[in-house]
Structure 1
Amino acid sequence: MYKSYPKTDFLGQKIIYLPSCHSTNDLAADYLREEAPEGLLIITDEQTAGRGQRGSSWIANVGENLTFSFILKPTFLQAPQQFRLSIAVALGVHDFLAQLLGEGVRIKWPNDLYYRDQKLTGILIENSLMGSTLTGAVVGIGVNINQLQFSVPTATSVRQITGREFHLENLLSQLCMTLETRYLQLKNGDYLHQRQEYLDRLYRYQTWHTYQDTTGNVFAGKISGIADNGQLEVETESGIRYFGLKEIIFLQE
């Protein structure tokens, strides 16, 4: 499985397939420390200790979804610019899902992918720094493709939405192409354009919804932008507030 290679310059040109592993991100980090080439991709049918944002676990049915990590070396970015990579990766996944699903795909800050109000994809990026420069990044992605049953009502899959079963190897190649395209755009200096595209595709952007902060306070807010450091900018009745990871909860309505 996963013996064909995508039509890319580097992303996915070397693939390590494991039927089962504890975490593709952890394995990719080991390869990064051993100076593996940029674009090395590790994919598995089953993660026994998969991780998502905020330290959450990532659980998926065996062999039904895309679960993989890959190595990037974004040395053109400085530490304060780390969120630019998150934007590029989220746009790459959005491009891929929009090809399959059309309208309705949105990026939920910081970089989950939703179809309407249900989660399709989780992304976990772990950066390595030397001084103020990014020397490497491990990008972990889990995309719900063929799974039909979920333990939470807020999750969905491409198959649930379309009613079709998909060939995972073909989709991996397609996704590698959109991810590499967006990464190279960023590398070539197209951040401002990507930032605007990210906002245009952002879940709940410029509409009023209900949120909760770390004190338990529930409030109405309107996402109005993102700061350069990646913090979420939210307009509230008492003024503009900024939130980092783990500092705001999107409440279901």
Structure 2
Amino acid sequence: MPGLLDLLTEDYQSGEALARHLGISRQAVSKEAKRLLAEGFPVEMSREGYRIRPGTPLPHLFHPPGRLGRPYRYLGRVGSTQDVLRAWAEEGAEEGALVLAEVQERGRGRRGRPWESRPGESLTFSLLLRPTLPLSSMGLLPLLAGLALWRAVGVGGIKWPNDLLAPDGRKLAGVLLEAKAEGEEVAYVLLGVGANVDWAPEGAAALREFSPLSRREVLSGFLLHLESLLPLLESPETLLSLYREASYTLGRRVRVQTPKGVVEGVAEAILPDGSLQVEGVRIGAGEVALVSPLRTGESDP
């Protein structure tokens, strides 16, 4: 039997009509709407009735453009989408499985940093991949994911390896990649994405400042571009050529915090394994800070 969430659309519907469809009272509809709101679902209530916030990827309103994004779990409040998807992957979920949550109580970004978001205004999801890759090729996947996100959003550029920056250098979105290995092979990859669409924490940027894209449109675009780019893991030079075009890092003076200390200098190249070269030093992992300023409009797709 459908619940209230299954009936909501982007147009207001009266409490009377919804009550009739659900076989409950108008008071019960109001109570359920408030419960959903408390759980993080962006239900909007007014004198006109009830609706879901426009752009919300409710399962009956979101239609993945390809094979990625199926099956799909849309949730309200969770610990983190990465943890939910990991449990699902261990149960045998197929490649393309998607978990999206409106509220993450333990949302995290790269290097364990907390990721701030707001229900109905931020986009936080995790996607399951089961690539047939040796562990040695994993370094290219974060770059590919960042490239897919850049293409989906259509503004800004990529700070190595996969932070999406606005044209003025503020952070728009990020990607967290976690993988499980079995021997020398990759069993599965959890690709977590956080994007500031209609809201951003202090110091970051919201996509709405630069583009009218909705959360649902960003999600669809990311899945479509990721699917089209995945075969390039077999053609690293083609992938790296495309990545270089989107880079806000190459040719710029940077400061990188690495496990061995700070490296500062000009970012010279992206190496075949996806690592960054700064003043002749190979960096496989680290936190990049751009020292030289950006030029507005640089690298927009």
Which amino acid is the alignment partner of residue 105 of structure 2?
T
Deviates more, 1:224-233 or 1:45-54: 224-233
Aligned partner (choices 200, 206, 209) of residue 245 of structure 2? 200
For the pair 1:41 / 2:106, whether they are aligned, the reply is no
- Segments of structure 1 that go 5 or more residues without pairing to the other structure are none
SS of the aligned residue for 2:171 comes to strand
Specify the code of the residue in structure 2 equivalent to 1:160: E
Query: Is 1:30 aligned to 2:87, yes or no?
Result: yes
Q: Which secondary structure state, in structure 1, belongs to the residue aligned with residue 128 of structure 2?
A: strand
Superposition TM-score, scaled by structure 1 size:
0.84
1:39, distance to aligned residue in structure 2 (A) = 0.2
Structure 1 residues 210-219 or 195-204, which shifts more? 210-219
Between 198-207 and 105-114, the greater mean CA deviation after superposition: 198-207
Mapping of 1:1-253 within 5 angstroms? 1-3=58-60, 4-8=62-66, 10-75=67-132, 77-98=133-154, 101=155, 105-116=156-167, 117-147=169-199, 149-151=200-202, 153=203, 155-162=204-211, 164=212, 166-186=213-233, 189-207=234-252, 209-211=253-255, 213=257, 219=264, 221-235=265-279, 240-246=280-286, 249-251=289-291
Larger radius of gyration: 2
Kindly provide the CA deviation profile for residues 77-107 of structure 1, in whole angstroms up to 9, marking residues without a partner as x: 1111101211221111111112xx3xxx211
Q: Report the AA paired with residue 137 of structure 2.
A: Q
- Give secondary structure in 2 for the equivalent of 1:113: strand
Q: Give, in angstroms, the shift of residue 11 of structure 1.
A: 0.5
Structure 2 residues without counterparts, runs of 5 or longer: 1-57, 294-301
Post-superposition CA distance 1:137-163 (Å, at most 9, x none): 00000111111x522x2x10111224x
Distance 1:88 1:217, change over 3 A: closer
Distance across 1 between alignment mates of 2:65 and 2:206 = 25
The whole-number CA distance in structure 2 between the counterparts of 1:63 and 1:177 is: 22
Q: Which one-letter code corresponds to 1:139 in the other structure?
A: L
Alpha-carbon shift at residue 249 of structure 1 (Å): 4.2
**Count of matched residue positions in the alignment of Structure 1 and Structure 2:** 233
Q: Tell me the residue number matched to 2:25.
A: none
Structure 1 residues 41-80: Cα deviation after superposition (integer angstroms, max 9, x where no partner): 00011111011111111111222021100100011x1111
Alignment check: 8 A CA contact 1:2 1:169 kept: no
State how far apart, in whole Å, the 1-side matches of 2:84 and 2:237 are.
Answer: 33
Aligned counterparts of 2:184 and 2:261: Cα–Cα separation in 1: 35
Highest relative contact order (Cα 8 Å, sep 6+), 1 or 2?
1
Change (3 A) 1:107 1:248: closer
User: In 1, distance between residues paired with 2:261 and 2:237?
Assistant: 35
Contact 1:14 1:41 (C-alpha < 8 Å) held by counterparts: yes
- How far residue 169 of structure 1 moved from its aligned partner, in angstroms, is 2.4
1:252/1:46 Cα in 2 relative to 1: closer, same or farther (>3 Å)? Answer: farther
Q: How big is the alpha-carbon RMSD for the aligned residues of Structure 1 and Structure 2?
A: 2.1
TM-score by length of 2: 0.71
Instruction: Supply the distance in 1 between the matched residues of 2:126 and 2:287 (Cα, whole angstroms).
Output: 26
Going from structure 1 to structure 2, the CA distance change for 1:90 and 1:213 (only over 3 Å counts) comes to closer
How many percent identity over aligned positions? 29
Shift of 1:213: 4.3
